Amino acid sequence: MHTLFSRPGTWVPLLVLLALASVPFVAQAISQPFYVAFFARIIIYAIAACALNIALGFSGLVSFGHSLFLGLGAYAVGLASFHGVGNGWVHLALCLGVCACVGLVTGAISLRTSGIAFIMITLAFAQMGYFLFVSLKNYGGDDGLAITLTSRFGPVDLSSATSVYITAFVVLVLSIWCLARLRVAPFGMVIRGAKQNTRRVSAAGIPVVRYQLLAYVMSGMLCGVAGLLLANLNAFASPSTLAWTVSGELIVIVVIGGLGTVFGPLMGALVFLGLEEVLKGFTEHWMVIFGPLIVIVALLGKRGIVGLLQDWDGSATNAKGTL
């Protein structure tokens, strides 16, 4: 019987989640706090990739500007902390509110175009955000802004890597669950259908642009939450978070993991950042090796790592059927 645990595309990511849940305990047992901070960064990037997956994987909107939302989330903490506000709920409200407004405005403008024009406009908005924060000399400018008051949600204070790790892990699990629900929900079916054939969906009387705009705003807000967590992890907000290269990294993570898949962002972040860290330990010229490896991974699995696992599942099923 083809049960849940006979499908590698499902149980392998679940095992990864289980392993991530044990990281703080293992790190404490072996006295290696570095692993908590390292895997917290992977989880935060996985959350940001989940956000981008809504726009890119589900809606087909190739956004090169999601670093803008990541940076806004980081500076929501940084600027509030600079002015003596350490209440995490204020940080979160500021993050979600600003990201929603910016996502609504930039999305409404960007969605008037498509293809390369959409990519370039989203990139332009991200660069505008980057140069805006670089110009804010009172808040550190291009040197960034140290965060002295981390987000405090009642008894939960994100002042340590462990507390950020646990919070980020919960957010990641909720994000993956929401992606799974969204994928099969009527809203998700509309944006996924529009990705395949926009004209046909529009012909059915569905306002496709409104659905895409809502997906873009949701994507930006979740990416902002990832930025908030990243700022607390680093105790620092930097304009480099808004650089176009960060948007590129998120796109690569989503593509490697599997476009439009539920577990793709998690698997992509793990492989991308894991490979980067391993190669850095061998040579300072790690990027020369890292680039071709990413290309090879992308070529071997056009549907990403999750797609490869699903193909493995299909091959195993067919093999059983021939016995």
What would the pLDDT profile of 155-210 be if each residue is shown by its tens digit? 999 999 999 999 999 999 999 999 999 999 999 999 999 888 888 888 888 899 99
pTM of the entire structure?
0.92
Q: CA separation (Å) from 179 to 3, 64, 210, 275?
A: 21, 21, 19, 25
Q: How many angstroms separate the CA atoms of 54 and 183, rounded? A: 9
| Cβ atoms within 10 Å, residue 12 | 16
Residue 306: pLDDT over 90: no
SS3 annotation, 267-293: HHHHHHHHHHHHHHCCCCCHHHHHHHH
Q: How many angstroms separate the CA atoms of 254 and 218, rounded? A: 17
Q: Does the residue 286 lie in any domain? A: no
Q: Does the residue 164 lie in any domain? A: yes
Q: Does the residue 296 lie in any domain? A: no
Residue 282: per-residue pLDDT: 81
Q: Does the residue 79 lie in any domain? A: yes
Q: Compute φ and ψ for 157, nearest 5 degrees.
A: -115, 120
Domain count, the chain: 1
Q: Does the residue 291 lie in any domain? A: no
| CA 188, 12, 248, 42 torsion-angle sign | positive
| Cβ atoms within 10 Å, residue 116 | 9
pLDDT band at 13 (very low <50, low <70, confident <90, very high): confident
Q: Does the residue 271 lie in any domain? A: no
- Looking at the chain, the whole-number percentage of residues with pLDDT higher than 70 is 93
Indicate the residue type of 294.
I
pLDDT band at 313 (very low <50, low <70, confident <90, very high): low
Scan for tokens 């890597």, then name that residue.
161
- What confidence tens digit (pLDDT) does each residue in 23-69 have? 999 998 988 889 999 999 999 999 999 999 999 999 999 989 999 99
Instruction: Please name which of 107, 125, 114 lies closest in space to residue 60, comparing C-alpha atoms.
Output: 114
- What confidence tens digit (pLDDT) does each residue in 200-240 have? 888 888 899 999 999 999 999 999 999 999 999 999 999 99
- Residue 264: which H helix or E strand, with range? helix 264-280
Beta partners for residue 153, in sequence order? 156
Q: Does the residue 4 lie in any domain? A: no
Residue 300: per-residue pLDDT: 65
- What confidence tens digit (pLDDT) does each residue in 235-280 have? 999 999 999 999 999 999 999 998 889 999 999 999 899 988 888 8
Residue 127: pLDDT over 70: yes
The torsion angle over the Cα atoms of residues 270, 272, 278 and 281, rounded to 10 degrees, is -130
Q: Compute φ and ψ for 142, nearest 5 degrees.
A: -75, -5
Q: Does the residue 62 lie in any domain? A: yes
Q: How many angstroms separate the CA atoms of 311 and 323, rounded? A: 19
Cβ atoms of 194 and 60 closer than 8 Å: yes
Show the domain range for 20. Answer: 15-243
End-to-end CA distance of the chain: 14
